[in-house]
Structure 1
């Protein structure tokens, strides 16, 4: 077979290098995730200042998180289907533009309703990020590399979480919180034209060699027909991914939106001082994201089945998250940082592995939709958990019950995945 003047048979020659252009796609996705998390986390870092300025209660802030997650849930489901139809290139481009508008619109918020509106727009756009990213990885990587590639691009979320506590306080102290949203939004928009210019499907890309294309397409061919969205709900594999997301996503939301508040209340940190602890926590998260993807791919290279490799990796991550139950009891700041950092690393390793499951068992044409279903359920779980967090902090004033829930979520998620997909075999369409 030939494409754009290339012969696939050339890829069979052992002397021909496979090529590495697919990693350029990972680099673009990695950068987008950095921007995504700067935009998402900025409000959480400014919680104490905005609470003072606008007189918010704990439940007010929980409501802001709730409405962001509600929009994110709806958008995640919708974007999954949209991206399966129009592709990752334009799908991601449109989603990115929407969330940058929502992020910058925060600067115009003068009331609680204004903040809710801007967070809803942000959620509607950011809901397209992971369906687009996973769709891109599925298009550009064979199954044996997807977990590692997913871990790499997902590591951008942690870099974003590292950059944010360094960037946002500096900009806020220098220019005020409103200009902070505008400046970071304009900086992020630089990514959009680069994505639109660079991204194509592998067979449409002139810089992909025949050898690399053969490597990308080395898995058995998928059915070309799209699968109706409602039909996907009949498969246990869809629910294995979705229930896993429902259980673990709320924990990451908690880390992302409430860690600055926890560090302030428990250890007396503020906008000028919580940067270094957060940087350490999210550096550890990066190790977990890349390490989890690497471990799963390494197991497969050792000859393990997808089922054994993925579930063993998730079990290791789930066990590493258990000690976070005692994070609020640690009186020493850096002991708490280490416990939480290991838990966030465990989350990212678990999450990167979980994200590969739809691509492992569904045809490429359905991956975006399955990711959308799971992401929606994950955001719904986040909505429920945000209300729980707000109520606990309002009534009890302690993070201990919250961290206890976080410690158990990953083992429960792995149990659900295993019960629903005991062999993790490709679905029969």
Structure 2
């Protein structure tokens, strides 16, 4: 019976078609480029610090300029993407970040790098709102978490590719070439996007069977809602809370993981690469597995609410053991704990990013994602300040990782209190102009 059921599922999938996964592959490529672009400066920072002559405080200003712009951009770009649609909105975002990435090659001072990073943050902020909205347009609800998990894996691919490619390019053609290279990658993706992307209703290569499958969810309301109006709904605050509480843990790993491994296990630049690659590869697996798990629960007959929160709980429990990482003496046990936590975060993100499309109509998804992303970026900035102060005063990561390990369970409790059934937000009529 199981073999017969499996064959039936495979037959239905083949009959429906798979063009939507080509679109998801483009989102994966864009997210990978996004993270390569933002990681270039981190890879080159030790060399540029000597070359340009900035000090640690000035480098902090450069990093903060990116975070601030990213927060502002997430607040604004969602509304822009909802206004112009994913095809044009995504094109605007990647055009800005492509030009900003290449502009780094012209910088020769702290102010120049800070300005380039600010522009990069504004452009890159559009990636996730545009990608999430694209998933909402191209995938039925039961597949969205998996699709988000697939393209979100690009964040880890980019984090692995940057330390592999950037030093080689910089050593061969100069540090300016590294920034130009990533900008050219972005521009190449943009050309492919504009030439091939259409919404499902306008895509001639999409079969009627696949279009019907994509549109198999119940009809959604069509009223247009300004993003300020969205904040009147608990559903928006649930997503905002989830991002504000848990995004800082991801920023913590991005900015402090290398420093933690180097200080605790005496790793050098030549030996730190392999542990970090292993950690990000584990995060890749978690990103896809977390999205797959929610879909698996739905195929078992669970409703969206139970499936989504069940997957989120599983991911939250994967992060919890990170509280033990300061107590272990083995590097590879520490890598396993950190990798499990990062895998849990990425699986969590695959499901959290799907919440807006679970609870809001498609035309409002990018705006909700942008608002939540803004909250997550602000939380990340606060976490960076706390981490720096904590390490300066105690030199210990114990309290930092304790907070990280508990954050996801707290966030899930808040989400459940705000939206116990993940009920869609109700929009009765369009607001007055």
What is the TM-score when the length of structure 1 is the normalising length? 0.92
**Match of 2:6?**
none
- Equivalent of residue 334 in structure 1, options 319, 332, 335: 332
For residues 375 and 255 of structure 1, what CA distance do their matches in structure 2 show? Answer: 17
SS of the residue 2:236 aligns to? helix
Are 2:259 and 1:261 aligned? yes
Over 3 Å counting, the alpha-carbon distance change for 1:273 and 1:183 in structure 2 is farther
Shift of 1:188: 3.2
1:310 maps to 2:308: yes
| 2:197 pairs with 1:214 | no
Separation (CA, whole Å) in 2 of partners of 1:184 and 1:427: 40
Contact 1:98 1:125 in 2 (8 A): yes
In the superposition, relative to structure 1, how do residues 104 and 403 fare at CA in structure 2: closer, same or farther (>3 Å)? farther
Distance 1:268 1:262 in 2: 9
Question: 2: distance between equivalents of 1:401 and 1:48?
Answer: 28
Contact 1:66–1:387 under 8 Å retained in 2: no
C-alpha separation in 1, matches of 2:50 and 2:264: 18
Task: Give the structure 1 partner of residue 299 of structure 2.
Answer: 301
Q: Compute the displacement of 1:212 (Å).
A: 0.6
1:371 to partner: Cα distance: 0.8
What secondary structure is seen at the aligned counterpart in 2 of 1:110? Answer: coil
Secondary structure at the counterpart of residue 104 of structure 1: helix
> Per-residue deviation at 1:70?
1.2
TM alignment of 1:132-211, pairs within 5 A: 132-211=130-209
1:1-400 correspondence runs (5 A): 17-53=15-51, 54-57=53-56, 60-400=58-398
The Cα of 1:149 is off from its aligned counterpart by 0.8
SS at match of 2:318: helix
Residue of structure 1 in register with 2:418 after alignment: 420
Q: How large is the Cα RMSD of the aligned pairs? A: 2.0
Q: Which runs of 5+ in 1 are unaligned?
A: 1-12
1:15–1:69 distance in 2 versus 1, CA, 3 Å: closer
Conserved 8 A contact 2:54-2:110? no
Kindly state the Cα deviation for residue 299 of structure 1 after the two structures are TM-superposed: 0.3
TM superposition score normalised by structure 2: 0.91
Give the Å deviation of 1:15: 11
- Per-residue deviation at 1:405? 2.1
Q: Which residue is 2:3 aligned to? A: none
1:159, CA displacement in angstroms? Answer: 1.1
Q: Which runs of 5+ in 2 are unaligned?
A: 1-10, 428-433
CA contact (8 A) 1:392 1:398 kept: yes
Count how many residue pairs are aligned between Structure 1 and Structure 2: 416
Within 1, Cα distance between the matches of 2:376 and 2:419? Answer: 19
Give, in whole Å, the separation in 2 of the partners of 1:283 and 1:369. 30
**Greater mean alpha carbon deviation, residues 245-254 or residues 266-275:** 266-275
CA contact (8 A) 1:165 1:278 kept: no
What is the CA distance between 1:323 and its match in structure 2? 1.6
Contact 1:284 1:342 in 2 (8 A): yes
What's the CA shift string for 1:183-240, capped at 9, x where partnerless?
A: 2322332111001111111000001111111001111111222112221100000000
Partner-residue secondary structure (3-state), 2:36: helix
In the TM superposition, residue 101 of structure 1 has moved relative to its aligned partner by: 1.9
How far apart, in 1, do the equivalents of 2:277 and 2:30 lie?
19
Query: Following TM superposition, by how much is the alpha carbon of 1:329 offset from its aligned partner in structure 2, in angstroms?
Result: 4.0
Assess if the C-alpha contact under 8 Å between 2:221 and 2:361 holds in 1: yes
Of stretches 130-139 and 77-86 in structure 1, the one that deviates more from structure 2 is 77-86
